[in-house]
Amino acid sequence: MKHHAIKLTVNGEERELTVPSNRTLLDALRDDLGYTDTKYGCGTGECGACTVLVDGVTSINGCLTLAATMDGRSITTVAGLARDGNLHPVQQAFIDHDAVQCGFCTPGMVLKTISLLADNPAPNETEIRHGLEGNICRCTGYSKIVEAVQDASDRMQGTGE
């Protein structure tokens, strides 16, 4: 199989690696580069656990994306969100509303929320639930997550983030 030498900027750090054509971005991040904060859930685009941001605020499923197609792009995982020791407002809102549930769904939920709020800074409940419907929690309800997203929206509009 053909291999590709690619460069990724992950959480602000330039990384170089060689991947076969069929290597997913998720596997490259987790297994080749050690970003295990990006989670493997279903591997088929159903759960959102593998969500990462590309070039800032565009969310993609790492399990459906070939690593070679990301050559030269900037990737953000949940571990890359904090700045100067401060959590991203979405992370802080999730904590403050007890919306941090398990380690599998939460990273993707947080990253998808950032993408959602970039598109729609003040979503209503229906828009939040629709925006997060590709991110599945199999254990519990979504009410606290919705509250956290609404609060994050308020905070980010207040700070201009």
Contacts with ligand FES by CB under 6 A lie at 40-43, 45-50, 61, 63, 101-102, 104-105, 137-140
Instruction: Decide whether 34 or 121 has the Cβ nearer to ligand FES.
Output: 34
User: Rounded to the nearest whole angstrom, what is the least distance from the CB of residue 53 to ligand FES in the complex?
Assistant: 14
Q: What contacts 24+ positions apart, CB below 8 Å, involve 53-62?
A: 53/111, 53/114, 53/115, 56/118, 57/114, 57/115, 57/118, 58/115, 59/111, 59/112, 59/114, 59/115, 60/25, 61/26, 61/134, 62/24, 62/25, 62/26, 62/29, 62/38
User: Rounded to the nearest whole angstrom, what is the least distance from the CB of residue 23 to ligand FES in the complex?
Assistant: 14
Say which amino acid occupies 135.
N
User: Rounded to the nearest whole angstrom, what is the least distance from the CB of residue 91 to ligand FES in the complex?
Assistant: 15
Instruction: Decide whether 29 or 47 has the Cβ nearer to ligand FES.
Output: 47
Instruction: Decide whether 49 or 156 has the Cβ nearer to ligand FES.
Output: 49
User: Rounded to the nearest whole angstrom, what is the least distance from the CB of residue 102 to ligand FES in the complex?
Assistant: 3
User: Rounded to the nearest whole angstrom, what is the least distance from the CB of residue 120 to ligand FES in the complex?
Assistant: 22
Instruction: Decide whether 145 or 156 has the Cβ nearer to ligand FES.
Output: 145
Instruction: Decide whether 10 or 137 has the Cβ nearer to ligand FES.
Output: 137
Q: How far apart are CA 126 and CA 146, in angstroms?
A: 9
Nearest to 73 by CA among 10, 153, 158, 142: 10
Helix (H) or strand (E) holding 129: helix 125-131
